[in-house]
Every structure is written in C-alpha cells, then in structure tokens.
Homo-oligomer: A and B are copies of this chain.
Amino acid sequence: MARGINKVILVGNLGNDPDTKYTQGGMAVTRISLATTSVRKDKDGNQQERTEWHRVVFFGKLGEIAGEYLRKGSQVYVEGSLRYDKYTGQDGVEKYSTDIIADEMQMLGGRGEGGGGGGGNYDRGSRPQRSGGGDAPQQRSAPPSRQSAPQQQRPAPMDDFSDDDIPF
C-alpha cells in the first residue's frame, strides 16, 4: 500500500534517438532525453525561453516500443513518476540523478528525423509489435499480465450491472 502521489506528465521532443539496453534477464530499458520549452517575460519585458531536458526511462514492453518507434525529434506524451538516485561515480564522487520512470506513452504527430508520424497509446501492459529478431536478446519468460478485469463496450443503462460494466 503506497502513500502519496508522484506523477509527471510531459509533452516534448526527443533530443536524440532512444538508447535501448537489455538486462541479463532480457528486459528492455530504453532511455530518452526529452525537451520541454517554456517562456516568460522577464522584468524588463523581454521574452525569455528556457528548455528543460528530462531523462525518461521506459522498462520492459514499454521500453521495447519506445526503442522501436521513437526517434530524434519525435513528439511524445509521457506519463510517469519521479525517481531520484544517488550513486558514486568512477571518480569516487557522489552524484545524483533524476529520472522520470514512464508508465504510459503516446506518440504524437511528430515529424522529426526518422519521424514516423503515427500515434498510439501504450502503457506497461501493452505488447510490442516487434516482429523480427533484431539485434537484441529478447528471450523473456511469461510477462506478468496487468489487467485485472478484461471486458467489453458498454451501451447501457446505469443502474444494474453486468460483468461487462467495466473500466474500459
């Protein structure tokens, strides 16, 4: 049982192609660098722009999809949570990192390099369409299915319930 809400919502563009690695167990871990730009007027009335570069990480199936479909310049919606890490660098100095651990992704109509317009909303429960054997391990045992209650469209009154009255 958790305590608290830790939610991040981003819409931005990738600064580079995604970087996908695989764990020994074969789980995909894809990282992207995502830019969001905001503007404000400073006290002299000049327009000031500022860009934040977010480090976003996708795990598992979402990592495979992100690695396959996103490209430098792609515009994407990401939902996830903040994770702060502290580690000791090779130089012996303590370092800190901040990542957004994605749990939902929606490709938007980006037209960056490698663009691939398309669209489609994926969450951690989605299965990737990876057809070929590509260059990555990929042998994965049965993935944990995350749907608690599968069901069907609901065109209906609202007072009695069937098992089809579901979340969609």
Binding site for B on A (CB under 8 A): 1-15, 21-25, 27, 29, 35-46, 48-54, 59-61, 72-73, 75, 77, 79, 81-88, 93, 95-99, 101, 103, 106, 108-113, 117, 119-122, 124-126, 144, 146-158, 160-168
Contact = CB atoms under 8 A, between A and B. Distances in A.
Nearest to A47: B1
Given A2-B120, A3-B119, A152-B42, A108 B161 contact: no
Chain copies in complex: 4
A109 B111 contact: yes
Given A3-B37, A59-B149, 11 more contacts: A1-B126, A3-B119, A6-B52, A11-B108, A27-B166, A46-B152, A48-B153, A51-B150, A53-B151, A53-B153, A73-B149
